[in-house]
Structures are given as C-alpha cells and as structure tokens.
Chains A and B, each alone.
Chain A
Amino acid sequence: MNMPVAIVVTVIYVAITIYLSWLGYRRTRSAADYLLAGRKVHPFLLAMGYGATFISTSAIVGFGGVAGFMGMGLLWLCFLNIFIGIFIAFVFFGKRTRAIGRHLGAHTFPELLGKRFKSKWLQIIAGAIIFITMPLYASAVMIGVVRFIEQTFHINYDIALLGFAFLVMGYVFFGGLKGVMYADGFQGAIMLVGMLFLLIFTYYRLGGVVDAHEGLTQLVSNLPQKFIDMGHAGWTSMPVFGSQLWWVMVSTIFLGVGIGVLAQPQLAVRFMTVNSGKDINRAIGIGSIFILMTVGVTYVTGSLSNLYFFNNFGKIAMQMAVDPATGQANIDTIIPIFMNSAMPKWFTYIFMLILLAAGMSTISSLFHAIGTSFGRDIFQQIFRESTHKKTIVINRIGIFVAFLITIFLAYKLPISIIAIATALFFGLCAACFLSVYCGAIFSRYMTKYVAWVSMSSGFLMWLFWILFIHLKESSALGVCSFIFNKPSLAQGTVLVFVDPIIVSLPVAALVAIVGTIIARKKANTVA
C-alpha cells in the first residue's frame, strides 16, 4: 500500500466527514430547522447512523479475528445482533425510549433513568459508570484501526496509535461530536458497499459459497492439538458443548455482546432523537441489512481466512497471526493480515476507509456520551447553578481526560484484547443498566429504591466475578492472588471461563422483578 496515496485518501475522507458534521450541526441550530430537516431525513440515515455507531472496528477487526480463531459459530452473534440488536431494540425498546425520554425531557441515558426514578444520584452514578468505563470500549475501537495501520504500512504500533489518536482528537474537538447525522450516513454507506464487495470477493476467491464452506470444513484435520484440547471442533462447527471454548463463545461473546447491546447508552440515546415511531419502523429493515452485511460478512470472512491462508501459505489464521518477536498469536491481526494478502491492492484503501468510518462513527458517539455524562449528568447535577459557558468548558475537560485514558489503555492493553474488552464493557452495561432500563420504560411500579438495589447488585456481582472468578480478568488484576494466593477462587472448575454476565444480569433482574412485585403490591394495598 502506497503511504502518500493512503494519506491523501484519508485527508479527503476526513474533510468530507467534517463538512457533513458541520452541515448537520448547522441544521440543528434552531429547533424549527431541526424539525424541518429531521422530518425530511430518510430512515436510511437513521438506520445507517445506528448501525455505524453499533458496528465499530471492534466488531470488524476484533470479532472478525475471533471468527478466524473460533469459526462460523460466531454467526449466532450475528443473529443476536440482528434479532435483539435491531428487531427487539427498535420495536420494543426504541419506541418506548423515545416516548418516555421526550415526555420526561431526558437528553442522555443516565438522565432518562434519573428523571424516571426521580433520583438525582441515580443519574450521577450512572453517568460516572459511563464516564469511567466507556474509555475501555473506546480503546478497543481505537486498537482495531491501529492494528490495521500497523500491518498495512509496517509501522510501529505505538507510532500508528499516536497518529490515529491525533486524527481522532482533531475530529472530536473540531465538530466531530455535533450533528453527526449526515456524517454517520456517509460512514455507514462506505461500510455497507465495502463489506458487500468483501463478501463477494472472498467467496469468489475460494470457489463459491458451498465449495468455500466445504473446504473450510475439511480443514478440521489440520486443527492444532491445543485447539482440540480447548474444545475446538473445526471452523464450521460449534465447539464441544461445555468445553472452555464453548463457554467463552456462548457466555462472553454471544450473551455479553448479543444482549449487552440493549443497554448501550450511546445507542439508547439515539432513539430519543428520532422524530416518530414511523421512522423507527422504516429504519428496522435497512438496519438489519446493514448488520448482516457488516458483522455477518466479517464473521464469514474471518472464518474463511483459514482456508485462504492454508491454500496459499500452508498455515491456519492463528499461525499466520504469530508475532515473530514474541512467538504469540495476536487474534487482532488476523483480519488486517488477510486483507493485505488476499484482497486486491486497491481494496485495501477501501478497507482502510471502512475501518476509519467504523472507528470514527463509534468513537464520536462514545465521546458524545462521555462528554454529556461528565457535563450534564455529573457536573450539572452536583452544581445546579452551572452556566452555559461553564458547562462547555467542563464537557471539554471531561472529554479530554477520557481521551487520555483511552489512549493510555490502547497503549497498555495486551494483545488479542479487542473482542474481550468490548464484551467486558457490553456485559457491564447489561449488568448495571439493563434491568433498570427495562423497569424505567416498561413498568410504572419500579421505584427508585428498587432501581438502586438492582443496579448496585448487578454491578457488585459483576465486579466480584471479574476480581475473583473469571480467570482472564482476575489473573490480570491480581486482587484474588493478593488476598487468597490463587488467581481465581474457582480454579480448576469450568466457572473460570463463565462470563460475569451469566450471574450478574440474572441477579440484577431478579432483584428488579421481586422488588417491583413487592412495590406493586404495596401500591395496590395503599390504593
């Protein structure tokens, strides 16, 4: 790939994006204009905006790499992304969120919870959780782009990260957070067209749909023994039921991300900006096609990369991803390596744009949520007399601090981390917010106290599980080793592979349901 050409392409792309953001922002300057513009907005833009925010480089590079390792079983996540992330989210959550959010005058996700339960501190704590933990997801998104730059231009990861961080910071601070509607539509369209080509070309190179699948199925005989020991049964089969790999796939990836999407603050808030339920109806179809064409294609391509690598280099994807310096395979490099070796050179420029589009659209939404959490949900709630000017400064400070944390994490996080960090954040959102969010929009009996206890119990259970049970985090964080002299309290059992969401979400949900039933009985008795 030619570096000067890539830089020119990137500059043109960023200029168009900033222009579209400015155009969108100009239209939002007066409520009347906004309404006028909003009513003319095609549902295509709503669907693209939601999709471009939902699907990031984390999904394409991170989860695509996981598909390269685990195989097409990941298509279950694609199904959940479409069925839960689009159908359930839009039809059941979207319309209610819009109606209740507008009625309460809520503009952020924590504000929706705070106003619904009449609790200022619920809003503040929910805002703080978002402000503190969202940089983890933002860093995963950032790593996705940087790994591609590193592999494509053969430049040092740290330098690539610094370059991309400057690009994103410039975008975020020069209008990238305002009026992103048109920019998201543009970014979504790039992703859609690019991924369609990727699907067609991948199947074409491997001899067609059925031949490609059959070739991948037969590759099972070349599965390394250590993968078989983990429960791997080939790239077109599910892992062995109950094995280590099965638990990771089902609990962390399917449930963490598949269900966690419902309680994503940066996605839920989008429903409030929609003009009518009609627009939501219209966007569902386009949104589902978008998700199928982005994540579905990524998982199929990631899995099929094994066949391509084997036919051309005699190695499977995980062997191709071994870093010669460390001898360890980095899952996050599978998709970049595949793109650079299997696709035509001109497509790598398109793919670079896909990743920039996917990364920047998600990052702008994340920093939008971080900024409003810090300024509106935390600062304005504590210091109610805050002026307009003060809030602008506070928002900017909040975004800048979160930005530094994001870059720090992107430097420090270990290899093969994108999908794990994403699932961790999605799981946390599900544990803390999903039950309370459901109560806020579906039940008029859930009280402030029930909301508090449900959110706290979900969070504490999640925290306990990652500190003391789930080996991946507990061994890295070291708290369990420090207190109990072993990396996990469940050492030697299958529980060390079970994701926190499996226990924390049911606990939070149970508390919410039981609490709401009791509150309802009390209300009926009083009545």
Chain B
Amino acid sequence: VDPSNFKTCEQSSFCRRSRKVQTSGSKYALIPGTLNTYADSLTADLVNKENHHQFAFKLEALVGSSFRLQIDEKQPLKPRYRVEHALKGQPQTGRIRVQRETDGEIVITSERKQGRLVVDSIRRYCRRLLKVYDHLFWFLFYYNLCFNYGHSWQETGSLSSPRISFRPQRTAGVYWQNAAETWVDIQTTETNVVSSLVNFVSGSRKTPPPAAHFISESGIVDAFILLGPKPLDAFRQYAALTGTHELPQLFSLAYHQSRWNYNDERDVTSVSAKFDEFNIPMDTMWLDIEYTDGKRYFTWDKFKFPQPLTMIKNLTELGRHLVVIIDPHIKRDNGYFFHNDCTERGYYVKTRDGNDYEGWCWPGSASYPDFFNPVVRDYYASQYALDKFQTVTSDVMLWNDMNEPSVFNGPEITAPKDLIHYGNWEHRDVHNLYGHMHLMGSFAGLQQRDPNQRPFILTRSHFAGSQRYAAIWTGDNLADWSHLQHSIKMCLTEAVAGFSFCGADVGGFFGNPDAELLERWYQTGIFLPFFRAHAHIDTKRREPWLFPERTRLVIQNAVLKRYSYLPLWYTAFYELEQTGEPVIRPLLAHYPLDKEAFGIDNQLLVQDRLLVRPVMQQGVGKVDVYFPSVDDKKNGDLWYDVDTYQRQEKSGYVSVSVDEYKIPVWQRGGSILPKKERQRRASTLMINDPYTLIICLDRQGKATGSLYLDDEKSYAYRKGHFIHVDYEFSNGQLINRFIGKPNYKTEAWIERIVIAGLERVPNGATITVNGVTQQLEVLPHEGHVVVRKPGIKMDVDFALKLNF
C-alpha cells in the first residue's frame, strides 16, 4: 500500500481542527440536577458552556466488568449514525452502583468487585474523561497493544477494533464503536508506552495517565470500557460484545494454494496433481478474478473454464476444495443480469443527486450494491443458491476482496464520502462498515445454500464483529523480510481484537521471494491461523517444486508440520467459539507480570500450549528467543523443543541455533496437546486417522490439555455431536475427562502418547478401559518416552499408568 494514497490527519479538516483540543479547561459541564441513577445505568445532560448546545450522556454497566458510554446530541439537526450489526446482540446489562461519593471522587462498580470505574468527580470526570467539541469527542484511554499495522488498516478498514492496554496485574480495553473516518492520537508520558499505567481503573494516581484522543468525523460517542483485569478477561469481554468466529471447517485451517491467477482448468488440475507428485499436502485451490467472464461475478470465463463442475469434482474427489473470488463491484454491462437487477430495483449506492454511483474497478465502470439495505443483502445471498449459481457446488467457498469498497478513481481509492446509503446515511457515516455488510450478505448466502455446512469466507475489509462471518488476511504485502515480520505483528493485533482467523500471503503478494525467504515464510505461515500462499499476476510462478529440491523439502516439511498440529488448531478454534479466548496470543496474554514480555512481537503463543518464534531474518544461524517469566522474580515455565524435547528451564533471552529446516517452537511444560502424525494429501482425508498426544510435564510432573473433535464440516456440533475431552497427567498416570457427553462416532483412536519431562524412564505402562487392563510397551527416546499403540477409542474413559 502506498501511504501517499491516503490522507494524514493534517490533510483532513475535521481531524486537524479536533486535534488541537486541550485536555484541560473544558467548556462542557454537567447540568445540575440531571444526573439520574438507574439499576443498570447513569444518565445526565451535558452542556457546552459557550454555545449552550446540550448532550445526553449515558453510562451503562454490562455483565462481565464492562461499561458502555454513549453521548449524543439532545436535539440534533440531523440524527447521528449509530453503528448497527457490529455487536453480536444487545449487550446484557449488569447492575451499576455508585459506591462512594466523597471528596469529589465517585467509584462506580458493576456487580463484580474487580470492575471498578473510578471517577474523580463528575465535574473532573467530564473534564478529564470526556470532552465534547461540536461533533467529536475524546477521552482518556489505555494505550493499546499497538503493533505496527503499517498502513494496512487503511486497506482493511479495521479501525474500529478494540484498543487494549496491558500492564502488570491490570488489563483494560476500549472499543470505540464508530464507522466513520477516525484518527486515534495517543499521548503518553512514558517512552515505553506498552507498560503505561492508567489511573482510572486502578485508582492509583502516581503518574499522569496516558491519554488517547479518538477523532471521528461523524456518529455518536459509543465507547465500551472493558475492565479486565487479566488479558484473557479483556478478550472475553470483547468477545461477549462482538462475538467470536464460528468453528471453521477443518479444511480451512489447512493449506491453501492461491495465485492471481490459475489460468485455466488444466492449470488448476495440474497444480493439484503436482502436490501429490511431490507428496505435499494441500487442501484448497483458489481462483482470483480472472476465472470470471470479464469480471462479472457469478459467471465463468467459458474458454478458460468450460467445465467448472468437472474441475471442481476433480478436486473434491481428492478431498480438496475450491475457493472463488466474488467482489462487490458490479460491472456496468447491460448484458449482465446482476447489473440489470440492481439497476432496475435500485440496489446500487447512490450519488448525492440520487443517481447510481459509478466508479472504476477491475471490470472497468462499476457500481456498488448498497449492502446496508436488508433487501439487497437478501438478493445478494440468494445469488449463491445452487439453482442460480449453477457452475459451483456447495463445497466451493468464497473470497470477498475489494470490499472497503475499492474504487480505483475514488478519493483515497474508495467511495466518495457524500454517496447516499440506505436510510439516507452518507458514506462518511458508514464507510468502515461497508465490508461488514457485504459479509453479512455473503455469509447468509452460503448458509442458505447449504444450511448444514459451515461457510468459509475470506475478506479483506472487516469491522468489529466481522469475525462472526469470515477469516481475514493482511492484504497486499510484499515479498520482503520486513513484511514477513509484519505478518505476526498484524495477526497478533487482530487476534487480541477478536479476530483470530488471520494470515498473511505466504511468499508475499508483490515481488518474487528468493528461496530462503519463501522457506522462512512457509515456516512462519504454518503458525498463523490462516495459511495461504498467494502471489500477484506479475510475479514468477512459485509453487514449491519450481524451486531447488532443498527448498521443496523445507516447504514440504513445514506444511506437514502444520497438518500434524491440525487437531490443536481445531480444538483452539472450538475453544475460541466457546470462551472468546484467541487462538494465537501475544506472550503477555499469559505472562502479564513480565514487563519484558509486553513488547515482544516476533513470538506468539498458540493458546497457552506452544511458543513460536519463527526465523524471520535473512541468513541467520541463530535467533534470540524470549522465554517469559510467570512472576516478577524471573521464574518461568518449562519449555520443550517440539523437535528434540530439549528443555528450556530459565526465563529470559536464549540464543538458539537454527538450520534451514528449523522452526523454533516449544511446548509449554504442563500442557498436553493432540496431533495427527500421519501424512495425507488433504486434511479432509485425515478424519479417521489416529491421534498422538504430546505430554510435556511441568516441575511438579503434571500436565493438562484438551482435544475437540467432530465431523469437521457441519453444524451437527451445535446439537451436541462432538467430543471435547480434557486430559490430565499426574503422578505417572494419564486420565481423560469428557466435557459434556462424548456424542460423536469416529474411527479415530490414539496411536501414540509421547511424554517428556519424566524423571525416570518407565519400563512399561498399564491401560485400563472399562475395567479391562492391558500392558503397553514404552519406548525410550532422547528426552522423551513413547507409549506404543494404546489403541484407545476417542469416546471411552481410560486410565493409563506408567510402570517404573
């Protein structure tokens, strides 16, 4: 993305004006006698002392230690836009209590004791927490975990994500819900912004608080304050508001092979065959815009793709999937049914004068359906029905790109702000929500097409709550080491902001990666939730076999590793749906007492089980890895190298040697994780394959961990057809405990249990299932032992005891 395409705050008049507002000397005041306290909220009226304009203020307590603050004009000349469809539903309110009102300080609590919102006084509150300046507002806020977005937020339109701040013992976040153009100025007195303190949560006032200034062009103040206190609490609080990903189909967590473009049917089929020839697993082939008939979505180029259904069958018969792109720009062509429908029925976004807006995008002259209109979303959804879109099957999934929306000849490459949407809202009011509305239509379309198959959609634009519908990628990156490094930073940021299903184009979209960069990119990509290789049409082909054998083998090795961990990824996504806890997490999510860990953005955790530090620099033989401490006394967890079971016992930086195959990853001592170690050409073919449990013991010789499994495809799990099980190891014994009733029939079984961290090598093991006891062989290895072939079915209770 070229930053010069986008305005800076200085170039934006509303931002330039608003930025000057000072934190002290407010011209706003509470109107005496208007403060009302209800069971779940406080309301009051505010006034601008200069122009006597009045505002309605409301502070609501929500369940789970969150507050919602809303401010709107009392008598607006024109109503202000309130964001719709971002929240999962109406937030559940809790009880609000004004606890103390002494000496100018108010403490407001929700029902949980730890959620205290301390307000110095209503007056000071109004001055410090909130300032109203005509149509914009600002207030104090915790510095967020500000990983570098580069400029991608411009492209992804993801500004309205929660900002979450971390500090030892206290974590809080703010979700600023606004769909208009927004700047956030962050003012901090500390150089290490990540460790900044915020006073109003803790009540301590030792250092001046950092402040954040939210500058939105239009809309109301609608801020959610998430009070933590632990990082995972803040994540859960945000998830409670905006929802989580649905459990994705397993295949979508496997490897995706994309390119702009696979040229024709023969190309698709031969690339798929080559993956088999070189025994590299691959689940999904992708088709970019060139498959269409002249960029008319819902059609195919009849010359390059004369038999799409045959091509799709060739893929699905091998357990593979196809994803096709469908963008929101509609070619203005009188021979195109979609365009004619939209024109006749008035479905397009309008200009100020009420005409259909025409912009320029891939098809040339194009118009944009107004997805804010529910009727348009319904129409759009209905186009996915198999009797309408007859050239795909219900196994063909979807890629929604360019939905910011991209307009090549528009200001800042998007739609002009004065376009008119459904409900007579201007584009300036709703811009950042356009992609989200597009997704709602797409998601409904796929669900209606096949109500028992979980949709898979990849989107570029997204808003708070879009995670309920789609996965994202980080946009058009570059085949460059710095962009490889960014892929982790960006996806971690998304993950703590509710968007776990994130990945970056492996290899880099623009440019040609050399062999080493491509190898390292694959090795990094396998540890991000969405794993897809993709490339620009002007780049050289880069399928793994086009590189020297070593590169092909390194890539094969990495992809196989991804497949072996699929049970962990799948479990993590199920648990995300249940709890709102991200699939990948920054170190601070689990090590909030370790200040050093706060700034680390080249490592990530998969749940709390794996610590990943990919090699993301050129030509290095060593990388520095940071092992976090669990307290402020440098005590750390035990970490086991997943390849060698070599153990890291101390916290702090450790220099680790790497060769070209090495992906530095450790499993946390105290965790158990499930794997599948058999190779298949696609993940869907692994469904009956046996599991391996990897048990890494903590200092007490204990470990726990979970496994989730189901049919990997349908919504039957919503009706209880799944197996979710906790494994627990202590005192030389492994037992399982089902979470809910195991209610899914599977051929899978446990073929191997690996245990690392034992003090002595057992000479065998005894397994008891349904009162029947059997002896098992235990094979000693360097740093670990392997219990050979326990043969346990996944849905039975068992106890396995090591014999010494």
Q: Do A and B bind each other?
A: no
B interface list, Cβ under 8 A from A: none
A interface list, Cβ under 8 A from B: none
